[in-house]
Structure 1
Amino acid sequence: MNKLPPDPAPATRLDRSQRSGPTIRDVARAAGVSIGTVSKALNNAGTLKQETRERVAEAARALGFRPNDLAQALHRGQSFTVGLISNDSFGRFTMPILEGLESVLHDERIAVFMCNATDDPEREREHLEQLMGKRVDGLVFTARRADRRPSVGVNLGDLPTVFVFSQSDDPRSFCLLPDDEGGAYLGARHLVATGGRRIAHVTGPERFEAVRLRRDGYRRALAEAGLDWRDDFFLPGEWSEQWGRQAVDILFSSTAAAPDSILAGNDQIARGILDALRDRGLNVPGQVGVVGFDNWGVMVEAARPRLTSIDMNLSTLGQEAGRRILRMIGGEHFSGVERLPCTLMVRESCGAQAKTLFQEARST
């Protein structure tokens, strides 16, 4: 009876010398110079002939040598990296911010390390310790809600730090946020301009600062148009399509005059509103105009009719965060809260000609 061959030996880890690739010694040998000369040439330091620098660079390229990033960071005092920490597990808000941030930092050869804290303070502290261990040049904190958050619990020293779509309870911090009040004002004012006179506002929980600010913007637009505030037309609830459907039942079950327009606190609520109005046989926008908030592509384009919505310009927020981080790395200091304008994106749900308006929200 033939015996089975023995199992192959388990794979062993390569030792460091096998994994590390060419070293600075190899480059020095290939270029015919000292290790110190290689270091100066690759770090653009010291006084070397241009011919020597080019010979070292060519030897490094030929060997596929990659300098140790941490060692270079220590040498230069800059790592050319920025850390981004988010608790937005779905990426709905973080990814546009990251896109804008990278578009600015990429031009300066700065990479972004992204970490997901998932609302876990301990995990966030671990990420912070790791990022600071890598000597990142700056930090960006973002979230799925723009409300104030407790301090990070780690001494960041004078490390440049920006909160984007997020706020810190540290008064020395610098925060970039969308202009929620201005955005809601813009949406409600647009509904007035398209003929709305009985405008309801269906939104999320009032414990969120954005809900309170958007309520204020909605109320300001009504006042400017000479329209009365109606308590029964302001319905805070949940951030869901289901709440949008329930709110329509509430608004249209009363014997009093039903709304002719609805400003939703987000696009999910607006989608629920559109579904419920359709189920009632009400034409949008013929009988009821609807405006959402967020301009979430998968929501607004799939809605029937397509949804007019307020865009918070998250990518623009990310770009501004990148510009501020660069200036902070250069020695400038910022603190306080700055709010950037929102934009009205007009589609068919409000009764206006689609894509004819492109307006920015202003708080003043």
Structure 2
Amino acid sequence: MVSDAESAPVFAKPVTLREVAVSAGVSVATASKALNGQGRMTAETRERIRETARLLGFRPNSLAQSLLRRRSFTVGLLTNDTYGRFSLPLMAGVSDALVDNGVSVFLCNVEDDTRLGQLHVEAMLDKRVDGIIATGKRIDRHLPVDLANLRVPVVYAFTQPDAGAVGFVSDDADGARLAVEHFCRLGRRRIAHVSGPASFAVVNTRAGAYRAVLQENNLPAIEPLLGAWSEAWGHEAVAKLFGGRGERPDAVFCGNDQIARGVIDALRERGIRVPDEVGVIGFDNWEIVAEATRPPLTSVDMNLASLGREAGLALLSLVDGQPAAPGIRKLPCRLVVRQSCGSPPE
């Protein structure tokens, strides 16, 4: 019979800095300086020590380094985006910006609960995070927590920043222009716009860009149809656009990918071919929706990973004491072309 002590796993002791120094044939002080990028020594000596540490599997004591540099090498990411639709790709970009600097990111979902948000902020400060990135599910609303006057820098991404703070958002007008101009290049001449509620700032911004492009191309502007951010609304909008006897649209620019999917399904039910008779473009480039749509959906991508990366780099700069001008930076979108919008006329 095997005892608990005999069956317990045996873990190897961590390699010490002294072992690295002995193996590399240098003093402990020299080994420490080489691994921290400090001190005077030849490039060959520094590289030999680092290679020795790598082969031995040496890992620096992060707690000791934190105390030495007065940094925790952690950043908090606060969001109320419960589904992670926007916060997860943005977090991927933040992590990409910080990983090379040895900084880790941990995510806290504050939902729409002020008390929960405050608890998360206090926990982050207790853990001595180097800074906080705030993000949300829409760009025109503040998170339900006060992030002003904290003892660490705060950067905002895809949410409304506090006065005097640094913020990053996607350029929604630019994204809408990409979609409508693409339809114009494809020879579409009667372009409709179906979007979400008017209470969202992005809805009005995109509708304004839609009207501007049509005016620039001397095309008739159909009054945008505004409703919910849902497939059901896209389905209902098709009944409004194609149910009468008037001239039908030959293209539909949608405010998000769910609406676009509803539009395509409703057109198919009416026997209207996409993209042969009507082209459709969505917004968000939510790949799980866009690629599964039939035909696959052309959509505007807000470049959330790039947005997160820029926010991460900005926060690093602030943590390092570099000043940053307050205000909102708008990052360009890109159009991901699939089959739903069709090809240019011959």
TM range (shorter): 0.7 to 0.9
Q: 1:197 aligns with which of 189, 192, 197?
A: 189
Match of 1:183 in 2: 175
Pair 1:235 & 2:225 matched:
yes
Is this contact kept in 1: 2:175–2:334, CA < 8 A? yes
Q: 2:165 aligns with which of 166, 173, 176?
A: 173
What is the letter of the counterpart of residue 295 of structure 2?
P
Match of 1:359 in 2: none
What is the letter of the counterpart of residue 287 of structure 1?
E
| Structure 1 residues 255 and 112: alpha-carbon distance in aligned structure 2, compared to 1, 3 A threshold | same
Pair 1:262 & 2:255 matched:
no
What is the letter of the counterpart of residue 277 of structure 1?
L
Match of 1:304 in 2: 294
1:55-66 matches, within 5 Å, as none
Pair 1:73 & 2:104 matched:
no
Q: 1:343 aligns with which of 334, 338, 343?
A: 334
Q: 2:239 aligns with which of 218, 228, 249?
A: 249
1:49-60 matches, within 5 Å, as none
Q: By how many angstroms is 1:152 displaced?
A: 2.8
Match of 1:139 in 2: 132
Q: By how many angstroms is 1:154 displaced?
A: 4.8
Is this contact kept in 2: 1:244–1:272, CA < 8 A? yes
Is this contact kept in 2: 1:27–1:63, CA < 8 A? no
What is the letter of the counterpart of residue 95 of structure 1?
L
After superposition, give the CA deviation of every residue in 1:98-124 in whole Å (9 maximum; x if it has no partner).
111111100111111111112211111
| Structure 1 residues 45 and 75: alpha-carbon distance in aligned structure 2, compared to 1, 3 A threshold | farther
Pair 1:105 & 2:105 matched:
no
Q: 2:111 aligns with which of 118, 124, 132?
A: 118
Once residues 176 and 75 of structure 2 are traced to their aligned partners in structure 1, the CA distance between those partners, rounded to angstroms, is 33
Once residues 224 and 343 of structure 1 are traced to their aligned partners in structure 2, the CA distance between those partners, rounded to angstroms, is 21
Is this contact kept in 2: 1:267–1:293, CA < 8 A? yes
Is this contact kept in 2: 1:82–1:140, CA < 8 A? yes
After superposition, give the CA deviation of every residue in 1:149-206 in whole Å (9 maximum; x if it has no partner).
16732554352211111112x2211110011011111101111111211111000001
Once residues 225 and 197 of structure 2 are traced to their aligned partners in structure 1, the CA distance between those partners, rounded to angstroms, is 9
Once residues 209 and 273 of structure 2 are traced to their aligned partners in structure 1, the CA distance between those partners, rounded to angstroms, is 27
Is this contact kept in 1: 2:114–2:144, CA < 8 A? no
What is the letter of the counterpart of residue 187 of structure 1?
A
Root-mean-square deviation (CA), in Å?
3.4
Q: TM-score, normalised by structure 1?
A: 0.78
Residue-pair matches, total: 323
Q: By how many angstroms is 1:302 displaced?
A: 0.9
Once residues 224 and 238 of structure 1 are traced to their aligned partners in structure 2, the CA distance between those partners, rounded to angstroms, is 29
Is this contact kept in 2: 1:125–1:154, CA < 8 A? no
Match of 2:77 in 1: 84
What is the letter of the counterpart of residue 313 of structure 1?
N
Is this contact kept in 2: 1:201–1:263, CA < 8 A? yes
Match of 2:209 in 1: 217
| Structure 1 residues 304 and 46: alpha-carbon distance in aligned structure 2, compared to 1, 3 A threshold | closer
Is this contact kept in 2: 1:177–1:340, CA < 8 A? yes
Once residues 210 and 95 of structure 2 are traced to their aligned partners in structure 1, the CA distance between those partners, rounded to angstroms, is 34
Greater radius of gyration (CA)? 1
Q: By how many angstroms is 1:229 displaced?
A: 2.5
What is the letter of the counterpart of residue 210 of structure 2?
Y
| Structure 1 residues 135 and 196: alpha-carbon distance in aligned structure 2, compared to 1, 3 A threshold | same
What is the letter of the counterpart of residue 225 of structure 2?
L
Once residues 150 and 240 of structure 1 are traced to their aligned partners in structure 2, the CA distance between those partners, rounded to angstroms, is 23
Once residues 342 and 13 of structure 2 are traced to their aligned partners in structure 1, the CA distance between those partners, rounded to angstroms, is 66
Q: By how many angstroms is 1:79 displaced?
A: 1.2
| Structure 1 residues 155 and 187: alpha-carbon distance in aligned structure 2, compared to 1, 3 A threshold | closer
Once residues 253 and 128 of structure 1 are traced to their aligned partners in structure 2, the CA distance between those partners, rounded to angstroms, is 52
After superposition, give the CA deviation of every residue in 1:185-233 in whole Å (9 maximum; x if it has no partner).
11011111112111110000011111111111111111111123233xx
Once residues 125 and 199 of structure 1 are traced to their aligned partners in structure 2, the CA distance between those partners, rounded to angstroms, is 46
Structure 1, unmatched stretches of 5+, are 1-20, 32-36, 354-364
Once residues 214 and 320 of structure 1 are traced to their aligned partners in structure 2, the CA distance between those partners, rounded to angstroms, is 23
Task: Give the secondary-structure state (helix, strand or coil) at the position aligned to 1:167.
Answer: coil
Q: By how many angstroms is 1:255 displaced?
A: 1.8
Q: By how many angstroms is 1:27 displaced?
A: 9.0
Pair 1:159 & 2:145 matched:
no
Q: 1:283 aligns with which of 260, 273, 295?
A: 273
Is this contact kept in 2: 1:22–1:63, CA < 8 A? no
Percent of residue pairs bearing the same amino acid type: 42
Pair 1:148 & 2:141 matched:
yes
Once residues 107 and 65 of structure 1 are traced to their aligned partners in structure 2, the CA distance between those partners, rounded to angstroms, is 16
Task: Give the secondary-structure state (helix, strand or coil) at the position aligned to 1:108.
Answer: coil
What is the letter of the counterpart of residue 340 of structure 2?
S
Once residues 62 and 285 of structure 1 are traced to their aligned partners in structure 2, the CA distance between those partners, rounded to angstroms, is 60
Is this contact kept in 2: 1:83–1:113, CA < 8 A? yes
Q: TM-score, normalised by structure 2?
A: 0.82
